[in-house]
Amino acid sequence: MTAIDVRPDAEAMEAAVAAALRTVDANMAMFGDRYPGDTTVHNRYALRPPAAGQPEGANVGWTTSFWPGMLWLAYELTGDDAYRRSAAAHVRSFADRIERRIDVDTHDLGFLYTLSCVTPWRLTGDRRARRAALSAADHLLSRVLQPAGIIQAWGDLDDPQQRGRTIIDSLMNTPLLFWASETSGDPRYAATARRHVAQLRDHILRPDGTTFHTFYWDAETGQPLRGATEQGTADDSCWARGQAWGIYGFSLNHRYTQDPSLLRAAERCADYFLAHLPADQVAYWDLEFGDGSGEERDSSAAAIAASGLVDLAEQLPAGRRREHYLAAARAILASLIDGYSTAAHPESNALILHGVYDKPKGLGVDEGTLWGDYFYLEALTRAVRPKWTAPW
Ligand code: GLY
């Protein structure tokens, strides 16, 4: 694949990378081998609160891998061995987590193990990391419900509230399955991913190019049932981060399958997302809202889209649409640097501010988010290192 140069203003991008790395350095000293919370509180990350029977700072929840993910990005950006050592030290915790089945009743094993374990295997040949990632892929297969062929998103497979439910974010988890097939030679992982993604293309993506956050199938008959939201403003609204996961997720799944319908799905998600951005190009937390609404923005949706749009553009032939998505990615990233990054906020230990985790539940509203920080640094990495290979 031809690498694309997306450097709009190399100096501004390099300055933004340098500022981000200063924050990563300070966090490395503060967190050590433990994990920050999902989001900041008053713009600062503290250690992850105790959860799932584990102590403060433990490896639980769906976001812990974004921290070693940032460390691996820092290593790839600088070649500095201190980042490599710090990132590699997290493999032990992730291997232990999957061996002991600590808080792994989730489809988010893809987010967790792609960044924490597939990356060290790919970059350094760490065999323990490969084993842990394969074990996580096996566990993900145990969440498949037939005959629908979907991977249940959350909770116990017998939980009546969650049974048969999948969510748009799962598109980012299937790359772990494609990797597992590639590395093991066992085609079952990729076949599962293909079937799951086809179901999302047909049901979670709506005819107008918007997406449901979550969708239920009848677990016994496999019939598609209904869409519903959890983090958006309404079942029939378009949750901004979900739409951004749709852009990046369908694009990544196209990379693995070369199924043109998935590239088209990514474009449809992108077109709706871009048509519903406010003046500063950083989406409000639900695309229903715009300037003047008084609602909060979700900078993490913007960061995911800024990276995902470049991934999408790289898979299009040279021409107008490719340039359009690259220009949109550049505009979003420039706005994040200018208006949302913490370069001028030394009191914060996030990379970008003004994200929203879950507005309906009042979680992490107008805060830094661990995944927003990761995808911001990923989008910057794409901008300053056009030949860089994404981990997904
Ligand atoms: N994957 C969960 C979220 O985006 O909030």
Question: What tens digit of pLDDT does each residue of 266-318 get?
Answer: 999 999 999 999 999 999 999 999 999 999 999 999 999 999 999 999 999 99
At 225-277, the pLDDT tens digits run 999 999 999 999 999 999 999 999 999 999 999 999 999 999 999 999 999 99
271-302 as b/e, with b when 16 or more CB fall inside 10 Å?
A: bbbbebbeebbbbbbbbbbeeeeebbbbbbbb
Task: Please identify which of the residues 108, 126, 366, 373 carries the catalytic annotation.
Answer: 108
10: confidence class by pLDDT, cuts 50, 70, 90: confident
Mutate to test the pocket of ligand 1, among 357, 363, 369 (most ligand atoms within 8 A of CB): 357
pLDDT at 7: 47
Mutate to test the pocket of ligand 1, among 62, 111, 214 (most ligand atoms within 8 A of CB): 62
- The fold of the 1-31+239-387 domain, in CATH, is Glycosyltransferase (1.50.10)
pLDDT at 1: 41
4: confidence class by pLDDT, cuts 50, 70, 90: low
At 171-202, the pLDDT tens digits run 999 999 999 999 999 999 999 999 999 999 99
Read off φ and ψ for residue 101, nearest 5 degrees: 55, 50
Which atom of ligand 1 approaches the CA of 242 most closely?
A: 4
130-167 as b/e, with b when 16 or more CB fall inside 10 Å?
A: bbbbbbbbbbbeebbbeebbbbbbbeeeeeeebbbbbb
2: confidence class by pLDDT, cuts 50, 70, 90: very low
Q: Could you confirm whether 108 is annotated as catalytic?
A: yes
Closest CA to 116 of 101, 96, 100, 102: 96
Residue 356 β-bridge partners: 365
Residue 147: asked if its preceding bond is cis (omega within 30°), the reply is yes
pLDDT at 9: 83
Is the minimum distance from the CB of 241 to ligand 1 under 6 angstroms?
yes
Which atom of ligand 1 approaches the CA of 172 most closely?
A: 1
pLDDT at 5: 52
Q: Measure 307 CA to ligand 1 centroid, in angstroms.
A: 16
Residue 208 contacts residue 218 (beta carbons within 8 Å)? no
343: confidence class by pLDDT, cuts 50, 70, 90: confident
At 98-125, the pLDDT tens digits run 999 999 999 999 999 999 999 999 999 9
At 54-93, the pLDDT tens digits run 999 999 999 999 999 999 999 999 999 999 999 999 999 9
Which atom of ligand 1 approaches the CA of 169 most closely?
A: 1
Is the minimum distance from the CB of 169 to ligand 1 under 6 angstroms?
yes
Residue 365 has pLDDT above 70, yes or no: yes
Mutate to test the pocket of ligand 1, among 107, 365, 371 (most ligand atoms within 8 A of CB): 371
